[in-house]
């Protein structure tokens, strides 16, 4: 699981440009699924059919997004300095000094026009990317070129630090859950979505196509366990979080109870999540077609939307256990 996470986080796939991630995912899921297809928006939809003789199987859609935040070139000046804008939630406080890798292979470092006060909020429209060029002519990128942040995968004890753990942790958890589920009474759809960071777009089209009875997003959640953080109970090392609410959706109480009862019965460490910032693919799944019973399983991650996000490896393993337990038993509501 660690090797797969390393491969995924060290690959580049900003929203709308998930090709490299999609190739890895398709290679991993083909031997595990009964059907695999890619839709018009690039979502990978892998189906595990119910066991023969299953009565009234529930159609359950698990979704984790493949894309990551990034930047896109908007202007290049005469000296070859690159202006850019964001793809998704690219925060100024994490961007200055970051290294980026363009999809064409070019590298760059983010600088700032002039720093007058170091502790002030830094808008990205005052930043530029230095790609080592001396003029516009020798600049290796063009307007419209896309980049993601570049950082290596690092293990720090039981903690893992990497870029794009949001949501490559969820992608890995879905793949490993597929591997763990040998037989199921349910009709399972493991969906690896696109463009979540720019408005949960892929999940909307995928849910419309799958038309599930139940939808579960598998994503990350910010924690409340660092100094002066928001007062939220989610912590690293305490297990996956069962979402009650975030900015974009209220989880269906039936789905929440099902997830909590499953975790308790299987003795899987877990947490209860009320998220004060952000949302997930579950928001879009919930309102697809005539509506879907929806919820989310969240993996606690520190420093979300930075290039050095942090996850606890035990939380990942317990997330896989919870997803496999949910997928393997009949749903009675």
Neighbours of 333 (CB within 10 A): 11
- Three-state SS for 178? helix
Q: Tell me the DSSP string of 217-278.
A: EEEEE--S-STT--S----TTS--EEEEE-SS-B--HHHHHHHHHHHHHTT---EEEE-SS-
Rounded CA-CA distance 160/156 in Å is 6
Torsion of CA 110, 138, 101, 25, to 10 degrees: 150
Q: Of 66, 54, 48, give the one whose Cα is nearest residue 324.
A: 48
Strands (E), the chain: 35-38, 44-48, 59-65, 70-76, 82-87, 99-102, 107-112, 127-130, 146-149, 154-156, 159-162, 187-193, 214-221, 241-245, 271-274, 293-302, 309-312
Considering the candidates 18, 28, 68, 196, report the single residue annotated as catalytic.
196
- ∠ CA(282), CA(285), CA(291), 5° rounding? 125
Residues comprising the chain, all counted: 333
Q: Is residue 176 annotated as a catalytic residue, yes or no? A: no
Neighbours of 286 (CB within 10 A): 23
Which residues have a catalytic role annotated? 196
């Amino acid at each position: 699981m660690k090797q797969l996470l390393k491969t995924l986080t060290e690959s580049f796939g900003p929203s709308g440009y998930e090709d490299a991630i999609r190739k890895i995912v398709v290679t991993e899921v083909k031997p595990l699924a009964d059907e695999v297809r890619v839709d018009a928006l690039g979502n990978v939809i892998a189906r595990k059919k119910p066991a023969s003789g299953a009565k009234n199987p529930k159609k359950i859609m698990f979704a984790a997004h493949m894309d990551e935040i990034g930047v896109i070139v908007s202007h290049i000046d005469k000296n070859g300095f690159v202006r850019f804008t964001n793809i998704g939630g690219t925060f100024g406080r994490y961007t200055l000094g970051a290294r980026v890798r363009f999809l064409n292979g070019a590298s760059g470092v983010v600088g700032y026009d002039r720093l007058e006060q170091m502790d002030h909020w830094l808008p990205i429209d005052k930043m530029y990317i230095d790609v080592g060029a001396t003029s516009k002519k020798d600049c290796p990128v063009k307007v419209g070129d896309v980049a993601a942040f570049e950082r290596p995968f690092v293990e720090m004890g039981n903690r893992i630090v990497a870029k794009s753990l949001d949501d490559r942790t969820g992608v890995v958890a879905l793949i490993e859950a597929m591997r763990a589920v040998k037989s199921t009474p349910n009709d399972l759809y493991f969906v690896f979505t696109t463009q979540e960071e720019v408005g949960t777009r892929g999940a909307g089209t995928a849910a419309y196509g799958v038309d599930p009875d139940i939808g579960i997003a598998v994503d990350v959640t910010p924690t409340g366990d660092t100094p002066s953080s928001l007062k939220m109970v989610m912590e690293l090392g305490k297990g996956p979080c069962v979402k009650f609410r975030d900015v974009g959706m209220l989880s269906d109480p039936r789905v929440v109870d099902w997830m909590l009862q499953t975790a308790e019965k299987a003795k899987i460490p877990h947490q209860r999540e009320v998220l004060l910032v952000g949302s997930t693919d579950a928001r879009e799944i919930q309102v697809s077609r005539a509506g879907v019973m929806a919820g989310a399983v969240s993996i606690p991650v520190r420093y979300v939307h930075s290039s050095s996000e942090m996850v606890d490896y035990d939380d990942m393993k317990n997330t896989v256990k919870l997803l496999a337990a949910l997928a393997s038993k009949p749903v009675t509501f």
